[in-house]
Each structure stands twice: as structure tokens, then as C-alpha cells.
Amino acid sequence: MMEGFERFAEVSEIPPWKIKVAKVDGTEVWVVNIEGAFFGHPNKCTHAGGPVGRGRLNGNVIQCPLHGSRFDVKSGQVVGGPAQVPLPSVEVKLEGTTVWVRKA
């Protein structure tokens, strides 16, 4: 076990270009696999709180299903409104075949 982190998933549970949503330390977060690199963010859009991790992924961009805000999954930066504030990032680490996410 990694101190300060919680087990999120096995690598095999998040294939390339797929997203997994789960609770970490009581907060819902999502992790995406972009060609073997894993990126995580809270599952709450900065525009109106929509479930971003349940949105549509197109390359490195995810679209919130609530109002259509688009974010770069690697950086959290807004690439299309109405959101104006980037998504915060959640630290993700790999240890062997396990994906770990930093607790809030």
C-alpha cells in the first residue's frame, strides 16, 4: 500500500482511451488511460458540477454531459465553454499493475 494513496483499479480495468469513475476517500473521481499514461480529476465540472467523467472522450478532450464544457484530460485546461475554470488534477501513480490515486 502507498501512503497517502488509495487503490483505484487494476491497469486492466482502464484500457487505453477509456475512463473509470470511482470514489476515493469519499469523493468521486475519474481516471483516464491515454496511451498508457493515466490522468485523474474530480468528477465535478467546474461550470455547474456535472459528472465530467461520464462524458464523451474524443482524443485528449472530454466533454461534460451536462452543458458541454470541454477539458483537456491531461492538464484539466478548458478547451471549450461554458466552463471558465480548469479541472483540478488528482495525482495518479502506478505500482506494478495497480492504479493508485492520492487521497483528498
> What are the sequence ranges of the domains in the chain?
5-102
Q: What is the pLDDT of residue 1?
A: 63
The pLDDT assigned to 103 comes to: 86
Contact call for residues 30 and 52 (beta carbons, < 8 A): yes
Pick the CATH number of 5-102 from 3.30.300.30, 2.60.120.260, 2.102.10.10, 1.10.238.10: 2.102.10.10
Residue range 81-100: average pLDDT? 96
pLDDT given at position 102: 94
Res 37 pLDDT > 70: yes
Mean pLDDT of 36-40: 97
The pLDDT tens digits of the residues spanning 67-78 come to 999 999 999 999
> What is the pLDDT averaged over residues 16-42?
96
